[in-house]
Structures are given as structure tokens and as C-alpha cells.
């Protein structure tokens, strides 16, 4: 039997947040549930691909932001998620 590497604390937090979104999506209408699952899955995959795993400050920021969004989504009056597409252009700081 192959042994799995243990997850770090931050990895466990990310997985817990992801599962929290999926559980909360089950409480919404079927159409909105599918939309929430799609948006959440895409967002997590995008971040997994594009964020350096050693950038703990940014990962912790995303976790805090995600937890706030999850708490908002848990509100029964909230019917779903909306997304905002921002073209990210990173330019180096020109410090003199």
C-alpha cells in the first residue's frame, strides 16, 4: 500500500474551505448549486496553478477572503455567487 504524504496545516485549511463551499452549495437551488460548484472549482484550480506554494502571506490572504465569502454564501438570503473578471497585469516596481 502506497503511503501518502501528510498535508500541512495550510493545505488542510484550503481543503476545508473548498469542502465548505461545496457543502454550502448543496443548500442552494440546483441551478445555482451547479454554478457555485463551477466557480469555486475554477477559482481553486486557477490559484493552485498560478500561486507559488511558498507564498504563505498571499495564500493566507486568500484563505481569509475565502472564509468571508463562504460566510456570506451561507446566508439564506444569498442565492449564489457572482464573479468579476480582472485582467491581471503584473509590472515590477520601479524603485529609485
Tell me how crowded residue 32 is: count the other CB atoms within 10 A of its CB: 15
Q: Does residue 80 lie within any of the structural domains?
A: no
SS3 for 40?
helix
Q: Does residue 50 lie within any of the structural domains?
A: yes
CA-nearest of 43, 33, 86 to 63 is 43
Q: Does residue 13 lie within any of the structural domains?
A: yes
Q: Does residue 63 lie within any of the structural domains?
A: yes
Beta strand extents in 9-95 (DSSP E only)? none
Q: Does residue 89 lie within any of the structural domains?
A: no
Q: Which domain covers residue 15, as residue numbers? A: 9-74
CA distance 46 to 44: 5
**Number of domains the chain is built from:** 1
What's the predicted TM-score (pTM) here?
Answer: 0.77
Cell representation of residue 4: 501518502
What averages of pLDDT result for each successive group of 10 residues across the chain (96 residues)? Answer: 76 96 94 93 94 93 95 86 59 53
Amino acid at each position: 500500500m502506497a503511503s501518502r504524504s501528510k498535508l500541512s496545516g495550510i493545505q488542510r485549511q484550503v481543503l476545508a474551505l473548498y469542502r465548505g463551499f461545496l457543502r454550502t452549495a448543496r443548500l442552494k437551488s440546483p441551478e445555482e448549486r451547479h454554478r457555485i460548484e463551477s466557480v469555486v472549482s475554477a477559482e481553486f484550480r486557477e490559484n493552485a496553478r498560478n500561486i507559488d506554494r511558498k507564498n504563505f502571506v498571499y495564500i493566507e490572504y486568500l484563505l481569509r477572503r475565502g472564509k468571508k465569502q463562504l460566510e456570506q454564501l451561507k446566508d439564506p438570503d444569498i442565492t449564489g455567487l457572482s464573479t468579476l473578471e480582472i485582467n491581471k497585469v503584473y509590472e515590477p516596481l520601479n524603485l529609485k
